């Protein structure tokens, strides 16, 4: 019933939000009489804020059209590679007419970026994708809004999430031989389960797996999110936060955890900060500070866009990850597509390098929760860890700290275990140039060799491996 009440209220507010948008423009257009009133700018700002507080936020687009690779603008074509009932595997295909750049792009590592299914759309990782496209072939899990999935597609459980991840990994392995997997926040747990099950069956596992700010062991440094899950029983969540989708949507009748409840929870964690942010936006509108107002709009266009999660998946996650801690207790059984349960054993992973990333000030996934993966994956020798000083939860995968502190070490980690092609980049065709004197050619060789040799220098900034690393192992495995 709550969902129907919310949708009715939103439908009533929608025309008023649209009128507020029109009024804001009327008072802000210098060519119109209303803009000549003494308080016109302030009135326009008030209407604009009213519009943004009352409007409905749809799923944003990634909007990545080009990326700069060594001074060359590379075109990006976004397309769906695999379409499943509750998720799309989305690829960001790169194109360039510069032959040397194109040859470089073809030899770069393949990365599966597993986005969280925890209320926001995968576009929350837009900055992550844009940054990684400079040096990687990027695929991302784009989870669908459950209210748009018809009941005929069945339900979606945490086990299905794990099976989806395995299917995506196999898809990339079939096309490229192997891949690297990066999970951000919520998916660290199902990703570890997926790779563990593949290892237990004797399947080829990814070259590397990166766990960023995820609740591997939610008992460590518990946050407000963890406390809520522990304080309430499983039945409380089922009886109080699960509702059916109204008739107006394709998924009518589906039991979901509504996105608007998740959004309310996000706001309730830091209400003063959000109130201050909206007041600053109002003041910036009055001052005509276009840069600050654009930044505010971009952030809240993403932050306010939320999706519904299938009830079974949501309740499974609460029970498995936050209440019974099945992964760390070794009691988690996942049903495969044939319906047979398989025990998750992270210790079975042997041939996949592990990197964990944590933010010092993370108030969603407490310090130590991601790092707990190292003890679980006792069979992995190649283990690395990064703690980002001064970073909160979003800072480890978005923003300046992500780009300057995390990404350089992450890409070095990936390259450390990426097999080298038989013909190195030295064999790639170069643009034709006039013949150089013999003396000059000799002088250029040491520089080229020096540039191609930083393998050992890469190791130290990333982390401290648990045992000496042999560079021949990854290449031999591939």
Please tell me whether residues 407 and 316 are part of one structural domain: yes
Please tell me whether residues 165 and 193 are part of one structural domain: yes
> Reduced to 3 states, what is the DSSP secondary structure of residue 400?
helix
Q: What is the pLDDT of residues 146-171, one digit of tens each?
A: 999 999 999 999 999 999 999 999 99
pLDDT at 442 over 90: no
Six-digit token pair at 114? 């597993």
Distances (CA, A) of 468 to 206, 209, 293, 428, 464: 20, 19, 51, 32, 9
Number of CB atoms found within 10 A of residue 77's CB: 11
Cross-strand pairs, 184: 212
pTM for the full predicted model: 0.85
Cross-strand pairs, 310: 256
Average pLDDT value for the chain: 88
The per-residue pLDDT for 470 is 42
Please tell me whether residues 96 and 208 are part of one structural domain: yes
pLDDT at 467 over 90: no
Residue 233 lies in a domain: yes
Please tell me whether residues 299 and 331 are part of one structural domain: no
d(CA 339, CA 33): 69
> Reduced to 3 states, what is the DSSP secondary structure of residue 462?
helix
The per-residue pLDDT for 422 is 55
Please tell me whether residues 289 and 334 are part of one structural domain: no
Average pLDDT for 279-283: 94
Q: Are 163 and 337 in contact (CB under 8 A)?
A: yes
Please tell me whether residues 162 and 267 are part of one structural domain: no
Please tell me whether residues 161 and 38 are part of one structural domain: no
DSSP designation for 120:
B
Q: Are 321 and 162 in contact (CB under 8 A)?
A: no
Within a 13 Å sphere around the CA of 439, how many CA atoms are in the beta-carbon half? 0
Residue 465 lies in a domain: no
Residue 422 lies in a domain: no
Please tell me whether residues 201 and 225 are part of one structural domain: yes
Residue 249 lies in a domain: no
Please tell me whether residues 234 and 126 are part of one structural domain: yes
How many domains are contained in the chain?
2
Residue 299 lies in a domain: yes
> Where residue 95 falls among pLDDT bands split at 50, 70, 90?
very high
| Percent of the chain topping pLDDT 70 | 88
Distances (CA, A) of 294 to 40, 44, 132, 285: 20, 16, 24, 10
Within a 13 Å sphere around the CA of 125, how many CA atoms are in the beta-carbon half? 27
Q: Indicate the burial class of 1 (C-beta count within 10 angstroms; 0-12, 13-18, 19 or more).
A: exposed
> Where residue 474 falls among pLDDT bands split at 50, 70, 90?
very low
d(CA 249, CA 227): 33
Six-digit token pair at 146? 């459950």
Residue 388 main-chain phi, psi, to 5 deg: -95, 110
Q: What is the pLDDT of residues 338-395, one digit of tens each?
A: 999 999 999 999 999 999 999 999 989 999 999 999 999 999 999 999 999 999 999 9
Residue 153 main-chain phi, psi, to 5 deg: -80, -5
Please tell me whether residues 210 and 278 are part of one structural domain: no
CATH number, position 320 = 3.40.50.1820
Residue 455 lies in a domain: no
Please tell me whether residues 35 and 71 are part of one structural domain: no
Q: Are 148 and 251 in contact (CB under 8 A)?
A: yes
Q: Are 323 and 234 in contact (CB under 8 A)?
A: yes
> Where residue 35 falls among pLDDT bands split at 50, 70, 90?
confident
The per-residue pLDDT for 228 is 86
Residue 286 lies in a domain: yes
DSSP designation for 61:
P
Please tell me whether residues 134 and 105 are part of one structural domain: yes
d(CA 16, CA 52): 11
> Reduced to 3 states, what is the DSSP secondary structure of residue 443?
helix
d(CA 300, CA 274): 10
Residue range of the domain that includes 263: 2-56+259-303
Residue 181 lies in a domain: yes
Strands 353-359 and 383-388: parallel
Nearest to 137 by CA among 186, 77, 195: 77
Distances (CA, A) of 438 to 257, 431, 433: 71, 19, 14
């Amino acid at each position: 019933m709550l969902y129907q009440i919310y949708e009715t209220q939103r439908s009533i507010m929608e025309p008023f939000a649209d009128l507020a948008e029109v009024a804001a423009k009327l008072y802000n257009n210098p060519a119109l009489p209303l803009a000549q009133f003494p308080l016109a700018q302030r009135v326009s700002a008030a209407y604009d804020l009213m519009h943004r507080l009352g409007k409905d936020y749809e799923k944003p687009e990634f909007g990545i059209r080009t990326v700069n690779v060594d001074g060359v603008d590379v075109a990006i074509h976004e397309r769906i590679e695999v379409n499943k009932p509750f998720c799309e595997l989305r690829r960001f295909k790169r194109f360039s007419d510069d032959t040397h750049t194109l040859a470089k792009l073809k030899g770069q590592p393949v990365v599966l970026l597993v986005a969280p299914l925890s209320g926001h759309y995968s576009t929350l990782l837009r900055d992550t994708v844009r940054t990684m496209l400079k040096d990687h072939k990027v695929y991302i899990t784009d989870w669908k809004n459950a209210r748009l999935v018809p009941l005929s597609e069945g339900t979606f459980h945490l086990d299905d999430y794990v099976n989806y991840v395995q299917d995506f990994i196999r898809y990339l392995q079939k096309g490229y031989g192997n891949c690297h997997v990066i999970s951000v926040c919520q998916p660290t747990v199902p990703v570890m389960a997926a790779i563990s099950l593949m290892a237990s069956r004797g399947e080829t596992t990814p070259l590397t797996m990166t766990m960023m700010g995820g609740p591997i062991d939610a008992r460590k440094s518990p946050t407000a999110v963890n406390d809520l899950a522990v304080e309430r029983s499983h039945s409380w969540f089922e009886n109080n936060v699960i509702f059916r989708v109204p008739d107006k949507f394709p998924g009518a009748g589906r039991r979901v955890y509504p996105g608007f409840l998740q959004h309310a929870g996000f706001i309730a964690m830091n209400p003063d900060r959000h109130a201050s942010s909206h007041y600053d936006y109002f003041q910036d509108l009055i001052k005509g500070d276009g840069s600050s107002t654009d930044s505010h709009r971009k952030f809240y266009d993403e932050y306010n866009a939320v999706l519904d999660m299938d009830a079974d998946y949501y309740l499974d996650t609460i029970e498995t990850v936050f209440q019974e801690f099945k992964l760390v207790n070794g009691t988690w059984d996942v049903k495969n597509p044939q319906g047979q349960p398989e025990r998750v054993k992270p210790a079975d992973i042997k041939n996949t390098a592990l990197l964990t990333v944590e933010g010092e000030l993370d108030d969603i996934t407490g310090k130590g929760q991601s790092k707990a993966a190292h003890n679980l994956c006792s069979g992995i020798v190649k283990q690395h860890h990064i703690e980002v000083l001064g970073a909160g939860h979003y800072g480890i995968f978005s923003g300046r700290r992500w780009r300057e502190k995390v990404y350089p070490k992450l890409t070095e980690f990936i390259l450390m275990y990426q097999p080298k092609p038989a013909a190195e980049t030295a064999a790639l065709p170069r643009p034709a140039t006039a013949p150089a004197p013999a003396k000059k050619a000799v002088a250029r060789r040491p520089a080229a060799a020096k540039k191609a040799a930083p393998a050992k220098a890469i190791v130290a900034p990333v982390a401290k491996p648990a045992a000496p690393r042999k560079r021949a192992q990854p290449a031999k495995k591939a």
